[in-house]
């Protein structure tokens, strides 16, 4: 990733189709379109690729999460368990539907710990939001069993893991709803965009209406459509959908490139002392967008990131100190710095749920480095980076 590195003629032609029609909105204006309905085509292609009967594309990954939660019936009074390692959009989406985000420990998969989830469940818990961070998945067998045992929804945030799979099923397709981001730095990009997939006809029907002010999209006259429930505007444009449609057709090729680059990097360091790889659950196939590994401790991880940067290696992330992806720097959530006042009950319970430390997660994240795997590297550039990784980490291991 990101997919923009390999923009080509297919993306250009798809966008040109929209510009030639003059219709940038995904709904209506049928006679003007010259047969081009890019958002619809994108949805059909996404559902087919993800082996689900339903897909709906929206304006962002954050929108996808918000729409999925609302369409699954999550709202005020509900609690949603999510990991301490994710992008802030995960808890933003929970708050956006009026629910309470409950942070929970991760394990060596860098995703939700099933044991920690069991301890975090309360009578108010409505859903688990499983976040497949940095291209690989959670232990979906164990987490799925927990959901069935406690009658909880399973929402898959697969925004960073499109193209990965678990037991031969695409990530995002195993829960009640799965969500993708197609923002500018994702493996498949629209510039800005997101998608929801589901096996539930009810969730799909609600999602496609909720994301468009409540329109039911029945009939050919948009102004005469009914509004079965309240909604908001999370629509994607035809221009963004046109790019995403062309990019999605290349997903499997992209994953193949990422895997080759990933394996070249990993082969150089996997045998070094003090280096251990992130655990990928049995039956899982990551999308290879990041190489994730653990060093012996936080001091060594910080030292390694600094040394790699000085050696000319960009795209090396130490998430433990990151402002946007790890709980230690989420003061705006923990202190509820909202532009407007939140409902008192939501505010109180959010503070109570998250005013604690997460030493188990800190122990993993403090030792973790992630290396971004890019699509646009030449074979020579990939080998150069592999040599830097091997030499720098090998020297630190001595």
Query: What is the tens place of the pLDDT at every residue in 352-386?
Result: 999 999 999 999 999 999 999 999 999 999 999 99
Q: How far is CA 393 from CA 239, 300, 387, in A?
A: 44, 10, 10
Confidence of residue 169 (pLDDT cuts 50, 70, 90): very high
Q: Which of 196, 227, 251 is the last residue of a domain?
A: 251
Residue 337, in any domain of the structure:
no
Same domain, 239 and 292: no
Same domain, 236 and 270: no
Domain that residue 63 falls in: 3-251
Residue 330, in any domain of the structure:
no
Q: What SS3 class is residue 257? A: helix
What pLDDT, on the 0 to 100 scale, is given for residue 20?
Answer: 96
Residue 168, in any domain of the structure:
yes
Same domain, 98 and 208: yes
Residue 328, in any domain of the structure:
no
% of the chain residues with pLDDT over 70: 100
Span 28-52, average pLDDT: 97
pTM for this predicted structure = 0.96
What pLDDT, on the 0 to 100 scale, is given for residue 1?
Answer: 83
Give yes or no for residue 78 having a pLDDT over 80: yes
CATH classification of the domain holding 236 = 3.40.640.10
Query: What is the tens place of the pLDDT at every residue in 142-154?
Result: 999 999 999 999 9
Confidence of residue 397 (pLDDT cuts 50, 70, 90): confident
Span 79-103, average pLDDT: 98
Query: What is the tens place of the pLDDT at every residue in 311-330?
Result: 999 999 999 999 999 999 99
Span 294-310, average pLDDT: 97
Same domain, 60 and 113: yes
Same domain, 97 and 119: yes
Phi, psi of 285 (to 5 degrees): -130, 115
Residue 348, in any domain of the structure:
no
Residue 89, in any domain of the structure:
yes
Give yes or no for residue 398 having a pLDDT over 90: no
Residues designated catalytic: 186
Mean pLDDT of the chain: 97
Give yes or no for residue 179 having a pLDDT over 90: yes
Per-residue DSSP letters for 13-31? Answer: HHHHHHHHHT--BSSS-GG
Q: How many domains does the chain have?
A: 2
* Angle separating helix axes 298-310 and 379-397, nearest 10 degrees: 140
Same domain, 201 and 294: no
Residue 342, in any domain of the structure:
no
Same domain, 36 and 133: yes
Same domain, 92 and 188: yes
Same domain, 80 and 160: yes
Q: What SS3 class is residue 129? A: strand
Q: Which of 232, 251, 270 is the last residue of a domain?
A: 251
Give yes or no for residue 339 having a pLDDT over 80: yes
Same domain, 41 and 66: yes
Same domain, 110 and 19: yes
CATH classification of the domain holding 393 = 3.90.1150.10
Same domain, 225 and 269: no
Residue 141, in any domain of the structure:
yes
Q: How far is CA 74 from CA 96, 100, 194, 261, in A?
A: 10, 10, 19, 40
> How big is the chain, counted in residues?
398
Q: Which of 251, 268, 283 is the last residue of a domain?
A: 251
């Amino acid at each position: 990733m990101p997919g923009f590195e390999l923009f080509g003629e297919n993306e250009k032609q798809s966008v040109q189709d929209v510009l030639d029609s003059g219709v940038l909105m995904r709904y209506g204006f049928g006679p003007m379109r010259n047969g081009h309905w890019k958002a619809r085509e994108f949805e059909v292609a996404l559902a087919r690729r993800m082996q689900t009967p339903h897909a709906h594309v929206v304006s962002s990954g954050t929108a996808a999460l918000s729409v999925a939660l609302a369409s699954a019936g999550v709202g005020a009074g509900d609690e949603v368990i999510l990991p301490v390692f994710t992008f802030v959009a995960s808890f933003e989406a929970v708050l956006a539907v009026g629910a309470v985000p409950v942070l929970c420990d991760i394990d060596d998969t860098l995703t939700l710990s099933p044991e920690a989830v069991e301890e975090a469940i309360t009578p108010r818990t409505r859903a688990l939001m499983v976040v497949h961070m940095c291209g690989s998945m959670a232990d979906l067998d164990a987490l799925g069993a927990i959901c069935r045992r406690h009658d909880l929804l399973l929402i898959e945030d697969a925004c960073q893991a499109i193209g990965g799979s678990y037991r031969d099923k695409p990530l995002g397709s195993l829960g009640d709803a799965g969500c993708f981001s197609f923002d500018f730095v994702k493996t498949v990009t629209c510039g800005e965009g997101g998608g929801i997939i589901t096996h539930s006809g009810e969730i799909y029907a609600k999602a496609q209406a909720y994301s468009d002010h409540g329109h039911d999209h029945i009939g050919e006259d948009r102004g005469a459509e009914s509004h079965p429930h309240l909604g908001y505007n999370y629509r994607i444009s035809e221009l963004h959908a046109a790019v995403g449609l062309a990019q999605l057709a290349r997903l499997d090729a992209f994953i193949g490139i990422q895997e080759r680059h990933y394996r070249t990097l990993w082969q150089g360091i996997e045998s070094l002392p003090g280096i251990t790889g992130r655990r990928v659950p049995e039956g899982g196939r990551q999308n290879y967008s990041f190489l994730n590994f653990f060093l012996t401790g936080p001091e060594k991880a910080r030292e390694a990131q600094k040394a790699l940067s000085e050696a000319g290696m960009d795209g090396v992330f130490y998430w433990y100190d990151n402002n946007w992806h790890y709980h230690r720097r989420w003061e705006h959530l923990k202190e509820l710095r909202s532009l407007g006042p939140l409902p008192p009950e939501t505010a109180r319970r959010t503070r109570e749920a998250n005013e604690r430390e997460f030493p188990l997660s800190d122990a993993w994240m403090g030792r973790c480095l992630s290396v971004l795997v890019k699509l646009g590297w030449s074979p020579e550039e990939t080998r150069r980076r592999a040599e830097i990784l091997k030499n720098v980490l090998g020297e630190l291991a001595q």
